[in-house]
């Protein structure tokens, strides 16, 4: 296959990467990553202590140049999970920044310090298309994390499909503050710009001020998660500078979880810009995306990307033909974007596929034009109540449309009459004057349908979330 990073084959003085105080041109990135590639060449696998720094970016690029699979490690991983990942992936070294403080669990692993100023020879990419580029571990919500084998073919196919959908070019400057141990922040947010020959500016940590500064200084694209866009929407009311910076961006992209319709509307009203949502997961990279420039479609994640086949499947295994926006099925996908399997888990790999179709576990409906609207996870968000199959996501969006609701999550719990009853977990805007359960039930019934109204409302000060802003529903139900 062609090189993942054509711009490193003939490097120039164009800006490539800026993370906090560190900035590298393509010439400097090629030298630093090339020097690292020579040092680690021949290694079986390397772990990367994935802090939000230029050291992480250079470590991963160097590993890819060397043809050595990289295993990104979340610096906040607990000791038991870290031990599992190390035992499962068996890296021969851990790549770090010079000042990184590592946990005791990494004491037995040789440490290779990434030098941003090193000067190595040009390194040509020689690894084959099917060779592993990255091993990214899942969140482990249904057992110990599984190592997802992502080939160079999958990375290239997914990034190129996004480039086609978003008209992403070397002239783009991407701004983001996403973690660098996930697909979103690392593959899309770092490798994506570098594959195009463009630039990326990582904020180190998210801030409204940082977004406004970088977009106001030439940034053309912003990647974020719903929590970030919610904070931007909150800040827009009194910040004309932020509104101008967001309005000047070519593309605003949200992912990793659904962006509430209310936040879509607030950002569009203040900036004239529509936030684009896309849909992917660790095992599939990117599957769908809203096409920029079209009619705003809050709540949908768009049609399948080029090269991706997508279908909805009923519980009995039959393929759904309906494009009615109502019939719920499990999303299954196939295409060059798919992972190669779970490391050391042939049983789990086999169970994840229906022939050559990957079972995502996500539930969705499709609109008349083929656009996908996700309604939740099969395991936690599909509620069977009174003979209906109901997706939690649409009820959550309806709740968030109520002016008295700041955050909302919806789950199901056993009910002797209905099978399952709908439970709403709500963080009110005003804790002293929260909306009543009856008020919220009537609000949902008016917007959606009576059978979709919550039967129980539980109020919280905040919803439990992970590093990417996803609501941890199992923590909700465990604590109920």
How much is the pLDDT for 19?
95
Q: Is the four-CA dihedral 141, 190, 249, 306 of positive or negative sign? A: negative
On the 0-12 / 13-18 / 19+ scale of CB atoms within 10 A, 115 is middle
Count of beta carbons in the 10 Å neighbourhood of residue 155: 23
Tell me what percent of the residues of the chain surpass a pLDDT of 90: 69
**DSSP H helical ranges for 67-151:** 79-89
- pTM for the whole thing? 0.84
- 307 and 287 in contact (C-beta within 8 Å)? no
Average pLDDT, the chain: 91
Q: What does the H/E/C string look like for 66-122?
A: HCCCEEEECCCCCHHHHHHHHHHHCCCCEEECCCCCCCHHHCCCCEEECCCCCCCCC
Answer whether 425's CB lies under 8 Å from 413's CB.
no
Q: Are 273 and 233 in contact (CB under 8 A)?
A: no
Give strand ranges (E) for 14-69. Answer: 15-19, 22-25, 46-49
d(CA 300, CA 277): 7
Q: Is the pLDDT of residue 142 over 60?
A: no
Compute CA distances 103 → 49, 74, 76, 138, whole Å. Answer: 11, 12, 10, 21
Q: Name the band, by pLDDT with cuts 50, 70 and 90, for residue 387.
A: low
pLDDT tens digits for 178-194? 999 999 999 999 999 99
Q: How would residue 296 be classed by pLDDT, with cut points 50, 70 and 90? A: confident
Is 401's pLDDT higher than 80?
Answer: yes
From the DSSP assignment, how many helices (H) and strands (E) are in the chain? 14, 25
Tokens representing 64 are: 């890819």
pLDDT at 65: 96
Residue 227 has pLDDT above 90, yes or no: no
C-alpha span between 260 and 232 (Å, rounded): 13
Band the pLDDT of 478: cuts 50, 70, 90: low
Cα 231 to Cα 212: distance, rounded to the nearest angstrom: 12
Angle at which helix 226-236 crosses helix 261-271, to 10 degrees, equals 40
Two tokens, residue 371? 């656009």
DSSP of 353-403, one letter per residue?
EETTEEEEEEEEEE-TTS-EEEEEETTTTEEEETTEEEEHHHHHHHHHTST
Which domains does the chain carry? 6-190 (3.40.50.12780), 382-478 (3.30.300.30)
Mean pLDDT of 207-236: 95
Q: Which two tokens stand for residue 383?
A: 């509620």
Instruction: Identify the residue whose tokens are 């990553």.
Output: 33
Span 203-222, mean pLDDT?
97
| DSSP letter (8 states) at residue 345 | -
The answer to whether 319 touches 334, Cβ cutoff 8 Å, is no
Query: When comparing pLDDT for 205 and 121, which is higher?
Result: 205
Lowest-confidence pick of 14-28, 52-66, 368-382: 368-382
**Separation CA 329–CA 335 (nearest Å):** 19
pLDDT at site 143: 65
Query: Cα–Cα distance between 420 and 384 in angstroms, integer?
Result: 6
CA-CA distance, 280 to 272, in Å (whole number)? 26
Residue 379 pLDDT: 67
- Give the CA diameter of the chain: 71
Name, in order, each residue with C-beta under 8 angstroms of 140's C-beta and a sequence gap of 6 or more: 81, 146
Phi, psi (rounded to 5 degrees) for 271: -120, -20
- pLDDT of residue 51 exceeding 90, the answer is yes
Q: Which of 394, 370, 400 minimizes the C-alpha distance to 382?
A: 394
Q: What is the pLDDT of residue 350?
A: 96
Q: Is the pLDDT of residue 250 over 70?
A: yes
DSSP annotation of 275: P
- Tell me how far CA of residue 134 lies from CA of 79, 131, 152, 226, in angstroms: 22, 9, 8, 26
Residue 333 three-state SS:
strand
pLDDT exceeds cutoff 60 at 278: yes
Q: Which is nearest to 339 in space by CA: 147, 72, 66, 87? A: 147
Higher pLDDT, 389 or 103: 103
> Per-residue pLDDT tens for 300-341?
999 999 999 999 999 889 999 888 888 889 999 999 999 999
Q: Which of 361, 390, 386 has the alpha carbon at shortest distance from 141? A: 361
Q: Which residue has the tokens 């719920």?
A: 328
């Amino acid at each position: 296959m062609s090189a993942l990073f054509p711009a490193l084959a003939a490097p120039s003085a164009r800006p490539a990467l800026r993370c906090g105080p560190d900035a590298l041109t393509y010439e400097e990135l090629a030298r630093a990553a090339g020097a690292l590639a020579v040092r680690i060449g021949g290694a079986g696998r390397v772990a990367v202590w994935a802090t939000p720094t230029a050291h992480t970016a250079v470590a991963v690029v160097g590993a890819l140049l060397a043809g050595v699979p990289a295993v990104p490690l979340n610096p906040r991983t607990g000791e038991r999970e870290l031990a599992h990942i190390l035992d499962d992936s068996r890296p021969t070294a851990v790549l770090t920044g010079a000042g990184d403080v590592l946990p005791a669990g990494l004491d037995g692993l040789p440490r290779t310090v990434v030098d941003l100023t090193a000067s190595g020879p040009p390194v040509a990419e020689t690894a084959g298309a099917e060779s592993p580029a990255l091993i990214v571990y899942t969140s482990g919500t249904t057992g110990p994390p599984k190592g997802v084998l992502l080939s160079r073919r999958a990375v290239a196919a997914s990034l190129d499909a996004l480039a086609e959908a978003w008209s992403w070019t070397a002239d783009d400057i991407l701004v983001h503050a996403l973690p660098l141990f996930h697909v979103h922040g690392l593959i899309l947010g770092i490798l994506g710009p570098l594959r195009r020959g463009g630039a990326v500016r990582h904020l180190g940590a998210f801030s409204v001020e940082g977004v406004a500064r970088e977009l106001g200084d030439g940034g053309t694209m912003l990647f974020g998660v719903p929590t970030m866009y919610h904070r931007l929407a909150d800040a827009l009311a009194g910040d004309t500078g932020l509104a101008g910076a967001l309005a000047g961006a070519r593309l605003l992209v949200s992912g990793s979880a659904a962006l509430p319709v209310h936040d879509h509307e607030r950002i569009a009203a203040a900036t004239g810009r529509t936030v684009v949502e896309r849909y992917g997961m660790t095992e599939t990279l990117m599957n769908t995306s809203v096409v920029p420039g079209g009619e705003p479609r809050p709540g949908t994640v768009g049609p399948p990307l080029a090269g991706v086949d997508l279908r909805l499947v009923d519980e009995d295994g039959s393929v759904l033909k309906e494009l009615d926006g109502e019939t719920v099925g499990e999303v299954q996908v196939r295409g060059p974007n798919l992972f190669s399997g779970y490391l050391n888990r042939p049983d789990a790999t086999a169970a994840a596929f229906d022939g050559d179709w990957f079972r995502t576990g996500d539930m969705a409906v499709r609109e008349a034009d083929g656009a996908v609207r996700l309604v939740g996870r099969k395991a936690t968000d599909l509620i069977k109540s009174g003979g209906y199959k109901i997706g939690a996501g649409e009820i959550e969006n309806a709740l968030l449309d109520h002016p008295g609701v700041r955050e909302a999550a919806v789950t199901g719990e056993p009910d002797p009459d209905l099978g399952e009853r709908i439970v709403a977990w709500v963080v009110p805007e005003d804790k002293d004057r929260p909306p009543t359960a009856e008020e919220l039930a009537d609000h949902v019934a008016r917007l959606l349908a009576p059978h979709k109204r919550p039967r129980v409302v539980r109020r919280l000060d905040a919803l439990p979330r992970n590093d990417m802003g996803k609501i941890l529903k199992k923590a909700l139900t465990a604590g109920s």
